[in-house]
Structure 1
Amino acid sequence: MTVHECCVGMELRRLRIEPISRTTLALFAGASGDHQPSHLDIEAAKAKGRDDVIAHGMLMMAYLGRSLIEWAPQEKIRSYKARFVAATPVHAEPTCSGRVVAINDRLATLELAITLADGTTVLRGEAVVEIG
């Protein structure tokens, strides 16, 4: 991507993720080593006041990263950070989005987010991508 192809306000293609399943959570736990009970055990989740288990925050961050590398090659990403603002319940249907908010010295700054079908934002992020 060149400076001429990128402009402030440009939006990334939205990435819709399949509903978060218990299988996805179990596979991610195995791959990441994060076997925290609130992601896998309904009774543990209920003991923490939740109705059911929640998705791993790092799983959500990985989905957001996936949407970013669909827009720009990984080697062009100079920084990527995110903060968790709400829990993602099992069966939620996340959508990743982003837009260019600034361009300076061949670097595009992007605001990123994951929202659920009910409008809840669960993750907010920022990335800096080389565009020249």
Structure 2
Amino acid sequence: MSNPYEPSAPSMAHSNYPPPSYVPLQVMPGQQIPIQPAPTYCTSWGKSSQNVHCPFCRSTGMSRVEYERGLLTWASCFGITLLGGNCGCCLIPFFIDEFKDSYHYCSVCNSLLGTRKPLS
């Protein structure tokens, strides 16, 4: 039970007090305000690693690239076979990264940042 003679804090919900005032930032003439540019996110991904800004962990660095067989790899294999490539020449696109899809990952948090599919 509370003591009726103790002063209690006024309730802000039902008080007649005005809300606190906020003073805008004042800048002196000639004073420069440092402005951080908004990070730019890559929209066109290349076949090799590139400098990126990760939207997930906010780190900046080179992306980690992994290559996987894609549509261009299989189409090249089929095209070489149709042109008469024998003796395993149709397997050459499976060993060249330019024919594969490239997946760019953040080197810090391993999040997928983007993909490059040369033929999709």
Under TM normalisation by the shorter chain, which class is it? 0.3 to 0.5
Higher strand share: 1
User: What TM-score results when the alignment is normalised by the length of structure 1?
Assistant: 0.31
If each structure's helix is expressed as a fraction of its own residues, which one has the higher value? 1
